[in-house]
């Protein structure tokens, strides 16, 4: 079991619960490479009565067929869901159209009750480093939210006006107190959601390599020349020599090997990979 819950995340959970009263729509971001692992279970009961759109971020790094299965899964759960590459302008335009379509239905429902407010407020939620800040900057077409490749960049909630029709409330990424299933913690470490201090990087990479051997063996063969993962010591040695992860004396530095493998995964150099499928 992995325990993790900094004070600012507990505060964020309270803020989200309070701000839900102010919004009409929830936009939940998940990582397309691990959609279920990156969905905060504590938030689900809070937002179940709100209209919700699920955005599967970093879809350009995930396996396309797996992403389609997840989109079907979320639709079957009764949620609108789309896959998103935040650097693709057409996909960002699609996101805006979907939000505006949801906004229209909300405004129509209001009008039927005699409420004339035309602006829809949406709350953006997601785990750390899922791509919220990048998405908001794309939607607003200017740099509003800070962007970084490490979790915990956004610290305070802020309202962002996207158009005359809707505005967004950005919130810091938030996790839950403990991961009962250790594989969830490892998946979150692989995609860069939790800091490496929580789970030893070598353990995370060993788990990733074993998973890839069973699901994407060609990726290991092409990138590292591996045809098995029976002996993890030898696996690290092979990758280290191939990638030049050496220390003085020519010995392989296992920490550097772990960094290289995680970097290769996160940058898509192992190909488009999804770590889990819907049951």
- Cβ contacts of 39 within 8 Å, gap of 6 or more: 28, 30, 127
Domain harbouring 236, CATH code: 1.10.1580.10
- Tokens of residue 68, six digits: 């389609």
Write the pLDDT tens digit of every residue in 89-102: 999 989 888 888 88
**Greater pLDDT, 192 or 3:** 192
Pair 254, 167 in one domain:
no
Task: Give yes or no: residues 22 and 148 share one domain.
Answer: yes
pTM confidence score: 0.86
Identify the sign of the CA torsion 188, 194, 200, 201.
positive
Domain boundary among 178, 211, 230: 178
Domain count of the chain?
2
**209 plus 106 within the same structural domain:** no
Shared-domain flag, residues 102 and 153: yes
Residues 6+ apart with CB under 8 A from 109: none
| Residue 236 belongs to some domain of the structure | yes
Same-domain status, 204 and 174: no
**3-state secondary structure (DSSP) of residue 35:** coil
| Same-domain pairing of 153 and 75 | yes
Tell whether 225 is covered by a domain.
yes
Residues 203 and 236 sit within 8 Å (Cβ to Cβ): no
Comparison of pLDDT for 65 and 22, the residue scoring more: 65
pLDDT in tens, 126-153: 888 898 888 888 888 765 544 444 444 4
Domain membership of residue 135 as a residue range: 2-178
Q: DSSP class of residue 62?
A: S
Distance, in Å, from the CA atom of 208 to the CA atom of 80, rounded to the nearest integer, reads: 30
The answer to whether position 103 is within a domain reads: yes
37 located within any domain: yes
């Amino acid at each position: 079991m992995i325990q993790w819950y900094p004070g600012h995340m507990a505060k964020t959970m309270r803020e989200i619960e309070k701000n839900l009263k102010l919004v009409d729509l929830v936009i939940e971001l998940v990582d397309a490479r691990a959609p279920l692992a990156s969905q905060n279970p504590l938030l689900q009961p809070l937002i179940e009565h709100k209209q919700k759109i699920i955005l599967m971020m970093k879809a350009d790094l995930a396996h396309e067929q797996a992403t389609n299965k997840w989109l079907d899964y979320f639709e079957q759960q009764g949620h609108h869901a789309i896959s998103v590459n935040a650097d693709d302008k057409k996909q960002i335009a699609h996101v805006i159209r979907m939000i505006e379509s949801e906004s229209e239905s909300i405004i129509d429902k209001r009008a039927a009750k005699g409420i004339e407010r035309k602006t829809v407020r949406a709350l953006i939620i997601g785990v750390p480093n899922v791509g919220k800040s990048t998405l908001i900057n794309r939607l607003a077409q200017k740099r509003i939210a800070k962007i970084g490749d490490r979790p915990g960049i956004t610290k305070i909630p802020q309202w962002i006006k996207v158009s005359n029709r809707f505005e967004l409330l950005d919130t810091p990424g938030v996790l839950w107190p403990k991961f009962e299933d250790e594989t969830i913690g490892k998946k979150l470490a692989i995609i860069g959601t939790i800091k490496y201090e929580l789970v030893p990087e070598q353990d995370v990479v060993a788990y990733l390599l074993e998973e890839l051997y069973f699901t994407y063996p060609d990726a290991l063969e092409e990138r590292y020349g591996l045809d098995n993962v029976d002996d993890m010591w030898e696996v690290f040695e092979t990758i280290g020599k191939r990638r030049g992860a050496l220390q003085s004396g020519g010995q392989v530095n296992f920490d550097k090997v772990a960094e290289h493998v995680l970097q290769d995964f996160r940058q898509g150099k192992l190909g488009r990979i999804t770590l889990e499928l819907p049951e």
